[in-house]
Amino acid sequence: AKKQQKELKKTQKALQKEKKQQEELEEQLKRQENDFLNAQHKFNSIQEELEFKTKKLETLMQNYNEAHRQLNTCQEDFDRERNDMFDTIYELTNQLKLKNMIID
């Protein structure tokens, strides 16, 4: 029974770790968006400014898309692991109940 409780705590900690990782990725994405909005640069001509901002926008869009893909991947992994852990918790709980009934 104690072994099962330890496994249960272990799975709960793993869920918390995954959630924290997801929150960190979301925070990173927000920082990148803020960096884009706060970027300032002095230009000699409008054409120079346009070229600079176009390149910057393309780079930021690539970074955003990559971060978004990573976030989706983490979310899918998190959901899959969470479901596996819920299944494990359910099985361990049932085993614990059965063992407690046998002991009583």
Interacting residues of 15 by C-beta distance below 8 A, sequence separation 6+: 78, 81, 82, 85
CA pair distance 24, 7, nearest whole angstrom: 26
- Going from N- to C-terminal start, the domains of the chain cover 2-103
57-78 tens-digit pLDDT: 998 899 899 999 999 999 999 9
7-54 tens-digit pLDDT: 888 888 888 898 889 889 988 888 887 777 656 666 778 888 889 889
The predicted model scores a pTM of: 0.47
